[in-house]
Amino acid sequence: MKMTDENISGNSEITMDDVKNLIKKKDEIEEQIKAYYDVLQDQGVGVEDSLVDAEGYPRADVNLYQIRTARHNISCLQNDHKAIMAEIEEALHKLHAREKAKREQDEAEAQEEAMEHQVTLPPPFARVDAVTEGSPACGAGLRVGDELFEFGSVNTGNFQNLQNIASVVQHSEGKPLRVSVIRAGQKVQMSLTPQRWSGRGLLGCNIVPVQR
């Protein structure tokens, strides 16, 4: 039986449909082999049984042409079956190898993309160690443990002491300040407006310098 399709094993772009088509052909070959075995069974002979009688003459009790044709076709189909099983095995191997390579490539690209998006966090200059409920700092979203790297015009590069922050707060009453902190390894930005409230000061939080 000659394959009508191109040799799929030579195609590097194997698809699951290719494998399914090969399996379909394999099933068809097996059905044909079974049909020819049924012919032999109907004649009461097997693949190897002798077709001559005790005196060496062709047997007259069976259809010799049908038997010889069935035996020949079984032999050819068995070779086809062996070949297509090898094709299926190779196709599955290539399919799995390509899927594995694609999965590894996707993982590598995802890791590379994550590294590209990973932002280098600036060193903080101060840390929030207390936030009073109901205060401007609380309302802005400031939390205990937040590490400051920007507070209005004060940043890591120009921070000297806490007086820098106090000065910015005093000159910014009623005006929103951009505050940037590091929280759980991520940058978080918020707007904090220093203003009078029921508690002390204009912020309602306690900030301590970070030792560098």
38-52 pLDDT, tens digit each: 999 988 888 888 888
CA distance 16 to 19: 5
pTM beyond 0.75: no
Element (H, E) at 38: helix 16-43
> Quick one: CA torsion of 191, 200, 198, 147, rounded to 10 degrees?
30
Best-predicted range by mean pLDDT among 21-35, 47-61, 110-124? 21-35
Residue type at position 21: N
148-182 pLDDT, tens digit each: 999 999 999 999 999 999 999 999 999 999 999 99
